[in-house]
Amino acid sequence: MQIIPAIDIKDGHCVRLRQGDMHSATIFSEDPAAMAQHWLEQGAQRLHLVDLNGAVAGKPRNELAIREIVSVIGEEIPVQLGGGIRDLDTIERYLDDGLSYIVIGTAAVKNPGFLHDACSAFPGHILVGLDARDGKVATDGWSKMTGHDVVDLARKLEDYGVEGIIYTDIGRDGMLTGINVDATVKLAREIRLPVIASGGLSSIADIERLVKHEADGIIGAIAGRAIYEGTLNFKDALKAAGN
């Protein structure tokens, strides 16, 4: 199972938020590309980027920082990006820049036709980010709750040709309270798509619990605040995940 460092970008800086609150950003680096290089050297097998300003604006806002990260990483490991990606031209531009996967979140829920077109135009490159609280999907940078059940929605996405699901429990994200393993496993068991766990990863115990369910389709976990604040040692996390 992969442990995937998150690089959340706000105003060109690498930050972490608490429960998606843009006003609670902690800056961990002024240089996201240097942070990407750091995680590569630490043994990361994949990186997860989020354009936080883009997620709020509904269009890219940190393209320069993202390009710099891709230029540093090259083709050594896959890099995935989410945040404000709402049209095919943006996807094409980012893939041409060297990104491996595009994460579609709000647009996948609000505009399934767009998701279908994206999967058709860029097969193998589209992930869907499902953010949920109490089993219901949230959109627009977590600011709006929908009535969609996360499992029901994920099942509908299977036929679109989506490459995988990133599942975030938004009540836990950035809070170091532990991954919602039960909800993640429930989702993974109900669908055929691979699932990446996200939101609140805080300990080796979280990883050990997730690893037990690799056979259910959990292929990775995104690590954020814990590896930046040092409460979770990244190399120990890799070892616990079997890397």
Residues serving a catalytic function are 8, 131
Q: How many C-beta neighbours within 10 Å does residue 152 have?
A: 11
Q: What span, in angstroms and rounded, lies between the C-alpha atoms of 210 and 81?
A: 23
Those residues with Cβ within 8 angstroms of residue 103's Cβ, 6 or more apart along the chain or in another chain = 48, 80, 81, 82, 83, 85, 127, 128, 129, 166
CB atoms within 10 A of CB 63: 15
| DSSP for residue 213 | T
Copy the structure tokens of residue 48: 């997860």
Q: List for the chain the helix, strand, coil content (%; round to 5).
A: 40, 30, 30
238 Cβ neighbours under 8 A, 6+ residues apart: 3, 43
